[in-house]
A = this chain, B = another copy of it.
Amino acid sequence: MNTSKTPRNTIARTEILKLVNDSVSALSHADVQVAINGLCDRVTIYRVLDRLVEDGSIHRIVNVDGIVRYASCHTCEEGHHHYHDHVHFSCDKCKSVTCLEEVVPSFKLPRKYQVKEVNFTVRGLCPSCR
Contacts and interface: CB of A to CB of B under 8 A. Distances in A.
Contacts of A106: 105-107
Given A103-B107, A104-B107, A106-B105, A123 B130 contact: no
Interface stretch (A3-11, A49-57, A114-122): A114-122
Contact of A100 (B65, B109, B124, B130): B109
A122 B102 contact: no
A123 B124 CA distance: 24
Interface residues of A, number: 38
Interface string A84-99: 0001010010000000
A100 B89 contact: no
A67 interface: yes
Nearest to A126: B113
Contact of A124 (B63, B105, B113, B120): B113
Number of copies: 2
Contact of A115 (B105, B118, B122): B122
Given A100-B109, A100-B110, 17 more contacts: A62-B62, A62-B63, A64-B117, A87-B109, A89-B113, A104-B107, A105-B107, A109-B122, A114-B125, A116-B124, A117-B122, A117-B123, A118-B121, A118-B122, A119-B119, A119-B120, A120-B121
